[in-house]
Structure 1
Amino acid sequence: MNEIQLSDLSLGRHIAEGSQGRIIELADHPGTVAKLYRTRELGLVDGRALAELVRIRGFIESEGLLVDHFAAWPHTVVLDGLRTAGFLMQRVHEPFLAGFGPTTSLAELGLLVDAGDVASPGVYERVLLMRALAAVMDALHRQGLVLGDLSPRNIAWSVSPVPRVMLLDCDGIRPAGEDGVLPPADTRGWEDPSNVGCPPTADSDRFKLALTIARVLTGDRNAAPGIRPDLTFAGQAGILVGPLTRLMDQAAGPPGLRPTASQWATVLDVRTPWAGAAPGMPPQMPPPLPPAMRSRGASPSGEILRPFRRQSR
């Protein structure tokens, strides 16, 4: 198992801070960053669950792409003695960055809902971004995993060279029905109302996917499946109105009857741009990723890993 002691890391500058911890670059490995949990979170961290995410990363793929192409997935557990302190993951670089004057930041999903200081993609690119998100969620569900907190802060996006997404905060992902690294959390306003206060499920993921699609395609942060979002696109984009409206109505129904991520991906799979859209983009594989930083030796932690159950939907 990939483990490394905190004392063996050459920590550089702080890149970001969140409610759970800090993101710090490694001075001697610029392609890798560490997420170190805050002191108040350390007592809640399930080290075995994090070790399991690290162990299964080689099994995770979507549409033939390895996990590092669409998720900042943990690849090494960081230990402070015998206690789990955080993890290492790839650093998210271009093209998932947006310019804000002299600085750059992650192009988070919120930029597609709230007007920001970056050029907003058109309907065609938004449709393909949501198709990419649905395909990634479908891949996770097919492998028995649930995404959990789907919100504008934990998904980055790019339209270069093709519309695609990058999952952030992947330590929130967990095998369905099992404990996660930390207690489950929901972003206010982006939760499944039928699952508030309960562990995430594939069904709650499906509702959040529909919610995200509604808000990204309309640019309305209050859009939701249950209030019939305005999907009356102009021009040839109108071919999507009927199928999307039917899926939205279904997503507003009771748990167990919501559209799967695969159904969304199929409806959103637009092969040819319509009139007025950006020029067609030929299929293009993302550039190869640098190898992940390897562990610098085994730890005496003796943590026992749960088996990874590859489940079908």
Structure 2
Amino acid sequence: MYKMPNGVLTVEKSSLGQLEELNSGGEGTVYRINSDSNKVFKEFRDVVRSELDLDSLTKLIELPTRFSQHDQAFILEHSVWPDTIVTENNSFVGFLMPIIPDTYFVTHGVRAYPGYSDCDWNKLIMRRSWVGNSNIVSSVPQLEGIPLLDLLIDLSETYAFLHRNQVVAGDVSGRNMVWRARPTPRAVLLDNDGFRIVGTRGVTQPKQSPDWVDPHLNGGDTTIESDQFKLALAVLRGYFGLGVLQHNSKELNNCNDPIGMEIISMAAKSALAGPRPSADDWVNLLKKHRRHLNNAGRPVITVTPPDPLSQPRVTTFIATRPRIKLQ
């Protein structure tokens, strides 16, 4: 391992030792590093390496070093920020990043073969769909009330932090955010190599996930404004937990919950081409309603999940993607 002149750490792949594949996607494969239980290695596929921008990754790695100690701690608690460049025969092949902590994993699946997987945002969105189903075993917390608002506030504060520092998350989706309920509700953003600093092209080609596509981008690069649209989807879908949503659905049209009504209204504004509610706007709205619930003395509603089954730490989980159309 050595430092580049800009202070960014670089390591040869051969020095990582034995690697254990955790999961694989279109861009590359993520490996557990057996010699370092706190890190994982993302190796890009050969077919995408020619498109990678090492300078953009270097800028991302450098960025937290400019933050205050408090801000460094915040972003490292809410992301898996790249921290080391990996080379092979002097060519850039991937990077190291923190491993997702165990508190963000849950048992979930059919009773005969329940899986152990990350607790992604899709599970928050779909949380009510398996309640009462005796064929499903799940330790996914059934968040409602103040704990749910705390989680949505935490997610919104994370995006507000990125945007204040001119960072675009880009590919926001139900698979790229994980969450926990204990000890405090918290969201963590994944696929951070898809982040880009405003004014740079990004490490990889910009992309959007199905059902999380900003209709006003028209094929252009993702922006802070497209992040605002997707944050609105994440809050709306997470709050109602309806799974498949349409903006004219019965559940939304008949909503008489003051919190839900304001969330629907702000989400609708986020779908417009003009100025959109910012992440800070979401923080302020959600905190206002949290204070109201707290002052009203309503009980904290959450379901304590059972202890996860003793299974391998990471398995594949494919969640049904929620749909929503804001008009």
TM-score under structure 2 length normalisation: 0.77
1:77/1:88 contact within 8 Å kept: yes
Q: Deviations over 1:7-53 (max 9, x none)?
A: 21113211111111111011111111101111111111111111111
Structure 2 letter corresponding to 1:275: R
Change (3 A) 1:83 1:228: farther
1:13/1:25 contact within 8 Å kept: yes
Moved more, 171-180 or 102-111: 102-111
For residue 301 of structure 2, what is the aligned residue in structure 1? 278
1:57/1:75 contact within 8 Å kept: no
1:25/1:32 contact within 8 Å kept: yes
Distance across 2 between alignment mates of 1:11 and 1:51: 25
Distance across 1 between alignment mates of 2:69 and 2:248: 29
Distance across 1 between alignment mates of 2:185 and 2:250: 26
Shift of 1:102: 6.0
1:21/1:37 contact within 8 Å kept: yes
Moved more, 264-273 or 194-203: 264-273
For residue 324 of structure 2, what is the aligned residue in structure 1? none
Matches within 5 A, 1:252-267: 252-255=271-274, 257-267=275-285
- Count how many residue pairs are aligned between Structure 1 and Structure 2: 275
Matches within 5 A, 1:293-308: none
Moved more, 268-277 or 86-95: 268-277
Distance across 2 between alignment mates of 1:173 and 1:204: 13
Does residue 18 (structure 1) correspond to residue 18 (structure 2)? The answer is: no
2:42/2:95 contact within 8 Å kept: yes
For residue 131 of structure 1, what is the aligned residue in structure 2? 153
For residue 241 of structure 1, what is the aligned residue in structure 2? 260
Distance across 2 between alignment mates of 1:218 and 1:231: 12
Structure 2 letter corresponding to 1:265: V
1:62/1:139 contact within 8 Å kept: no
2:123/2:140 contact within 8 Å kept: no
TM-score under structure 1 length normalisation: 0.80
2:75/2:158 contact within 8 Å kept: no
Moved more, 40-49 or 123-132: 123-132
C-alpha RMSD of matched pairs (Å): 2.5
Change (3 A) 1:221 1:156: same
Distance across 1 between alignment mates of 2:49 and 2:284: 41
Structure 2 letter corresponding to 1:50: L
- Between Structure 1 and Structure 2, which shows a larger proportion of helix residues? 2
| Alignment match of 1:179 (pick from 193, 197, 201) | 201
| Alignment match of 2:124 (pick from 101, 112, 122) | 112
For residue 49 of structure 2, what is the aligned residue in structure 1? 42
Q: Which ranges of structure 1 fall in alignment gaps of 5 or more residues?
A: 280-313
Shift of 1:145: 0.8
Distance across 1 between alignment mates of 2:197 and 2:33: 29
1:158/1:164 contact within 8 Å kept: yes
2:43 partner SS: strand
Does residue 51 (structure 1) correspond to residue 58 (structure 2)? The answer is: yes
Distance across 1 between alignment mates of 2:90 and 2:30: 21
2:93 partner SS: strand
Structure 2 letter corresponding to 1:188: P
Change (3 A) 1:167 1:122: same
For residue 148 of structure 1, what is the aligned residue in structure 2? 170
1:70/1:167 contact within 8 Å kept: yes
For residue 251 of structure 1, what is the aligned residue in structure 2? 270
Does residue 207 (structure 1) correspond to residue 229 (structure 2)? The answer is: yes
Change (3 A) 1:231 1:31: farther
Change (3 A) 1:61 1:191: farther
| Alignment match of 2:100 (pick from 89, 92, 101) | 92
Q: Deviations over 1:251-304 (max 9, x none)?
A: 13223x21000000111121455634337xxxxxxxxxxxxxxxxxxxxxxxxx
Shift of 1:103: 4.4
Distance across 2 between alignment mates of 1:186 and 1:88: 23
Distance across 2 between alignment mates of 1:61 and 1:96: 26
Change (3 A) 1:168 1:198: same
Q: How much identity, in percent, do the aligned residues show?
A: 24
1:214/1:229 contact within 8 Å kept: no
Moved more, 181-190 or 217-226: 217-226
Shift of 1:177: 3.3
For residue 80 of structure 1, what is the aligned residue in structure 2? 88
Change (3 A) 1:63 1:227: farther
Structure 2 letter corresponding to 1:29: D
